[in-house]
Amino acid sequence: MNNTIDQVTAFFDTCKAYWLRKGDSARVATSKALWWDCIEVWNFDRSWNDAKRQFASMFGYKEGDPVPAPEVVERGERWY
């Protein structure tokens, strides 16, 4: 359950570690974990809560903002 900021952060860190193991740079792994493992899932299943909103805001994202195109995510470009 990702109901606290610590739980959300731990989930994100696990996802980022996965992308790093797959060979992505830290920047690209961060981007993929944030967008594909967190924000797109939370948007899809409508599971946003205060902890997830707080976490996303650390990256300059707020619920309902547009999501970058896949090629932007894959390059690890800034989206804000």
pLDDT at 2: 83
pLDDT at 16: 98
Q: Is the pLDDT of residue 59 over 90?
A: yes
pLDDT at 41: 96
Q: Is the pLDDT of residue 7 over 90?
A: yes
The model carries a pTM of 0.92
DSSP one-letter code for 52? H
Q: What is the residue extent of each domain of the chain?
A: 5-75
Q: Mean pLDDT over all residues of the chain? A: 94
The residues near 25 (Cβ < 8 Å, ≥ 6 apart) are: 76
